[in-house]
Amino acid sequence: MQKKPSGFSWLKECAIIVVGALVLSTVIRAFIFQMFWIPSPSMRSTLVENDRIVVSRISTFRGDIERGDVIVFNDAKGWLPRAESEGAGRILRSVGEFIGILPANGEQTLVKRVIGVGGDRVQCCTANGALTVNGQEITEPYIPAGEPASRMEFDVTVPEGSVWVMGDNRPNSADSRFHMDPLENAFIDTDEIVGRATMVLWPLGHWSWLGDRDVFSAVKDS
Question: What pLDDT digit, counting tens, does each position of 60-84 carry?
Answer: 666 789 999 999 999 999 999 876 5
Does residue 180 form part of some domain? Answer: yes
Q: What is the pLDDT of residue 120?
A: 98
As for how many domains the chain has, the answer is 1
Low-confidence ranges of the chain (pLDDT < 70): 1-8, 10, 12-32, 59-62, 83-107
Does residue 201 form part of some domain? Answer: yes
Does residue 18 form part of some domain? Answer: no
Q: What is the pLDDT of residue 27?
A: 46
Q: What is the pLDDT of residue 18?
A: 61
Does residue 19 form part of some domain? Answer: no
Does residue 23 form part of some domain? Answer: no
Q: What is the pLDDT of residue 105?
A: 44
Does residue 144 form part of some domain? Answer: yes
Predicted TM-score of the model (pTM) = 0.79
Q: What is the pLDDT of residue 25?
A: 47
Length of the chain: 222
Q: What is the pLDDT of residue 219?
A: 96
Q: Is 112 a catalytic residue?
A: yes
Q: Could you list the residue range(s) of the whole structural domain that residue 52 is in?
A: 34-85+106-216
Q: What is the pLDDT of residue 14?
A: 67
Q: What is the pLDDT of residue 206?
A: 92
Q: What CATH number corresponds to the domain at position 205?
A: 2.10.109.10
Which listed residue (3, 6, 85, 112) is catalytic?
112
Q: Is 42 a catalytic residue?
A: yes
Q: What is the pLDDT of residue 33?
A: 72
Does residue 151 form part of some domain? Answer: yes
Does residue 100 form part of some domain? Answer: no
Q: What is the pLDDT of residue 81?
A: 84
Which listed residue (3, 12, 25, 42) is catalytic?
42
